[in-house]
Amino acid sequence: MNIETYRNYCLSLKGAEEKMPFDKTTLVFSVKGKMFSSTLIETFELINVKCNPKEAITLREKHREVIAGYYMNKKYWNSILTNGKITDAQIKKWIKNSYDLVVSGLPKKVREDLRNE
């Protein structure tokens, strides 16, 4: 996956926004103000995605290219190396899972508003 494909996919998710809240090199994708993915735009060596804690550990054990979240809470976040060994389809699935996890944690009214956008 390249950074353009990553960006386009993240922005295709309902209500997704891109920002650079931390610095000029960290691209963050969020929904209703809650982050679901991020990457460093200068290197694009990895993508951060949120996971439920059990899934995070399982993915790390199963895939060498999935590591504990780089500069993230390692209980909830994984980093996926973008070295071409994980398919684009699999990365998109993990991004969507991250997005869905974040949306599920939003207040009911916010989730309803998102569905109606």
Taking all residues of the chain, what is their mean pLDDT, rounded to a whole number?
95
The domains of the chain, with CATH numbers, are: 3-104 (3.90.1150.30)
> Residue 76 has which token pair?
């909830």
How many C-beta neighbours within 10 Å does residue 14 have?
10
> Residue 33 has which token pair?
């103000």
Would you state the pLDDT for residue 70?
82
- Return the percentage of the chain with pLDDT > 90, whole number: 91
CA 18 from centroid of its chain's CA atoms = 12
CA dihedral sign, ordered 58, 61, 65, 66: positive
pLDDT greater than 90 at residue 29: yes
Q: What is the pTM of this model?
A: 0.94
Length of the chain equals 117
pLDDT greater than 90 at residue 72: no
pLDDT greater than 90 at residue 59: yes
- Mean pLDDT along residues 73-79: 93
Tell me the per-residue pLDDT of 82-91, one tens digit each, with 9 for 90 and over.
998 999 999 9
CA 75 from centroid of its chain's CA atoms = 14
User: What three-state secondary structure class fits 1?
Assistant: coil
